[in-house]
Amino acid sequence: MRKALAALAFWAGSLSAAPVAAADLCRAASFEGVDFTLCEVKAGADLRLFHSGPEGLLGSFGAVNDLLAGEGKALAFAMNAGMYHRDREPVGLYVENGMQRTAVQTGASDDNFGMLPNAVFCIGEAGFSITDSRDFAAAPKACRFATQSGPMMVNQGALHPRFIPGGDSRYIRNGVGVSADGQRAVFAISEDSVNFDTFGRLFRDKLALPDALYFDGKISRLYAPELGRSDLGMPMGPIVGLVVPQP
């Protein structure tokens, strides 16, 4: 049903942007009985974060594509990229085109965002990084784009200490992992409900990525035109997407 709705949303809600071919950008994977879709981006690609345009909140993949059309470009893939308040303002640090919109938050809280350590996903000139938010606050990195979220599922190869093997908190979830050299970022969304422990180990054990950051759950959505997919849902806050020339 989820995949059928996604296909319907793609054809019904994204006709303003032509599908962009990006061979092998996104692929299916399975880990411990859970299905995932993975999308991999190399350093140097035009990966961006999106929140607002000239008329305010973007909130959808279609609105981002409409904005990019003015550049003669379009999304090759995209997903929601961090938590947000009721007004869709980012929770924690958010940087877009080198301009900081909201500040880094380092305090603990009872929600997923404040399950320390949380982290900042940074898109910089040299590549990608995921950094403990407290370390980032102490020594900020030069990020063209950045989004803070939590928890930090994998930190230098170690799973978050509060993850419970076999835990019963299970949702559709999405997040990102970064290679040790910062040259690859792998974005993942589960097709089935998954707990934090399994999701974290997907990045560490199957994908061999030493750092991984949780973006969100329940509201997780993917845009992948090569798969004929554009997930339905309420307006989003931050969106991460790979930008390519329109065909």
Which pLDDT score, from 0 to 100, does residue 247 have?
A: 78
Which pLDDT score, from 0 to 100, does residue 133 have?
A: 98
| CA 46 – CA 97 distance, rounded (Å) | 12
- pLDDT exceeds cutoff 70 at 95: yes
Q: What is the pLDDT of residues 177-192, one digit of tens each?
A: 999 999 999 999 999 9
When the pLDDT of each residue in the chain is averaged and rounded to a whole number, the result is 92
Q: Kindly report the three-state secondary structure assignment for every residue of 178-236.
A: ECCCCCEEEEEEECCCECHHHHHHHHHHHCCCCEEEEEEECCCCEEEHHHCEECCCCCC
Percentage of the chain beyond pLDDT 70 is: 91
The band of 1, judged by pLDDT with boundaries at 50, 70 and 90, is very low
pTM, rounded to two decimals: 0.91
Q: What is the pLDDT of residues 127-166, one digit of tens each?
A: 999 999 999 999 999 999 999 999 999 999 999 999 999 9
Which pLDDT score, from 0 to 100, does residue 24 have?
A: 79
| CA 203 – CA 164 distance, rounded (Å) | 16
Which pLDDT score, from 0 to 100, does residue 223 have?
A: 98
Q: Which two tokens stand for residue 140?
A: 């900020």
3-state helix, strand, coil in the chain (%, to 5): 15, 40, 45
